[in-house]
Structure 1
């Protein structure tokens, strides 16, 4: 499970309304009949129309400054293993989001009217998307780049030859293009993967637009707060503040596992991901100490990210390099959402 939280982009170049983002999330509905369209949902309602989302978010911004984000975007991307486990069932994804948003509310170290924040204090709208396209920062695109560049060059040369602008052997050029296409490391049905191509396999993920203000449009709730859970004295009294991202990410993962009886592998876990960032050596040792079956699955998940593990039996002088390589491999897999978090 990969979860990210991003603030609304602000500044002169960006719209102050949620309209542009909502329109972006409507891209998969283009050309579909009413019965086949995917609609927004929140904690209690389904089939929410785009204009209702825009109205709900844009109308819930009391006393926010122009440079402050009016909403935050949360993206939840289950791995293909997780999606396969729930059979890519959209109703199960919705149920998970509704549970995860309870964890989101509970991760604020705040009170409203003397009570801890709960999901009814949160104003949000969510939508499931089923497709993903390759982007320039994906592993496949980066490692195909040299081949794609050379193929584009040769295709340009071939067109010039066919137009009579330069002399050359069309058959030889076509043969070189085909060889490069065969040698490229990443392909879909024989075609070299390029930016914009749709990814194969289960790609369902959820976009959530959550208002910066609470549901009553009174209190500001920022998951981007620089403060962790703490208390501070303001105007002579102690006030709670902060948002615990670690708690939200970890508890969302636990909610998925409990709801669907999912047996999470070591490399998928939020705890392991955090260890990777803080102590790669310990992460590496944890990976090596897994039982045979779990280790086998873990390595398979890592390799499916498109990279190879470094050799494990290294002289002491090269161990540090191996840790760095492993960290890079896992982080790349995490971001590609082949593994998850």
Structure 2
């Protein structure tokens, strides 16, 4: 299943000083490469953006934010080796361009935010390194800092906290999901973001996913919820579809007959 995670803000800066530190980190794979070899930043409007362009565009959206407030966030989107199989860098980038903004705004509650109101840039990364949290490092099979084998392509997305019209503040790290009362209204559902990415990936690439490889299945296992058998789940979905069909027929039958026109 796709792995989607908004990263925690920098503990020292709280992401309040702008996105230059994140850009510097993401440009590490471009070191010692020619201009043509460097992996650029991109979004739904451009395929080639420099780190400086990204910094200027994201950091300018800060109206109403305090000096100590986070100005941007970073979201990691990665896929399994099976999901990456047979897909070119260009195809994966096109998917992110088209679907990430929709998936992100689809996880926002209580605020009407159009995907075109987001200021974001993504970058494709080719490598991953082991760290102390990995099972292989804990078991002594490899060392922290060693490159991981196989296809490790993944994306880092930098996204401004404020919308382009400066009307809304969006935080994918918010603990509010859909708050109706209090100072904070609405919220952000990280689970919904992951589900949106998975559904859009499967539709975009016509990827056939087993129940065991779905986000819902693994999330239920993580929470200690016993997943439903595929047959039971399928029957329930068919029952819901049947009810919706019957309801549509009843609505149609209640409509007044207007007679024939000649």
TM over 0.5: yes
Alignment of 1:150-165 (within 5 A): none
2:16 and 2:179 map into 1 onto residues whose CA distance is 33
TM-aligned CA deviation for residue 16 of structure 1: 1.2
1:123 and 1:273 map into 2 onto residues whose CA distance is 31
Is 1:201–2:163 an aligned residue pair? no
Gaps of at least 5 residues in structure 1 are 145-185, 187-192, 290-341
Alignment of 1:1-341 (within 5 A): 1-11=2-12, 16-84=17-85, 87-98=86-97, 99-111=99-111, 116-144=112-140, 186=141, 193-232=142-181, 241-280=186-225, 282-283=226-227
Scaled by the length of structure 2, the TM-score of the pair is: 0.80
1:2 and 1:52 map into 2 onto residues whose CA distance is 28
1:233 and 1:198 map into 2 onto residues whose CA distance is 47
Kept in 2: contact 1:88–1:204 (CA 8 A):
no
- Matched with 2:240 is none
Higher percent of residues as helix: 1
1:100 and 1:223 map into 2 onto residues whose CA distance is 13
Gaps of at least 5 residues in structure 2 are 233-262
For structure 1, which segment, 46-55 or 219-228, has the greater mean C-alpha deviation from structure 2 after superposition?
219-228
Kept in 1: contact 2:178–2:187 (CA 8 A):
yes
Per-residue CA distance 1:196-252 (angstroms, 9 max, x = gap): 211111000000001100012332112222221243377xxxx95111222211111
Q: Which has the larger radius of gyration?
A: 1
Alpha-carbon distance change, 37 to 220 in structure 1, aligned in 2, over 3 angstroms? same
Alpha-carbon distance change, 214 to 7 in structure 1, aligned in 2, over 3 angstroms? farther
Kept in 2: contact 1:41–1:126 (CA 8 A):
yes
Scaled by the length of structure 1, the TM-score of the pair is: 0.62
Per-residue CA distance 1:152-190 (angstroms, 9 max, x = gap): xxxxxxxxxxxxxxxxxxxxxxxxxxxxxxxxxx4xxxx
Kept in 1: contact 2:16–2:68 (CA 8 A):
no
Alpha-carbon distance change, 57 to 250 in structure 1, aligned in 2, over 3 angstroms? same
1:13 and 1:260 map into 2 onto residues whose CA distance is 37
Q: How many residues align?
A: 229
Per-residue CA distance 1:12-64 (angstroms, 9 max, x = gap): 69771211110000000011111111000111211101001111122111221
Q: SS of the counterpart of 1:55?
A: helix
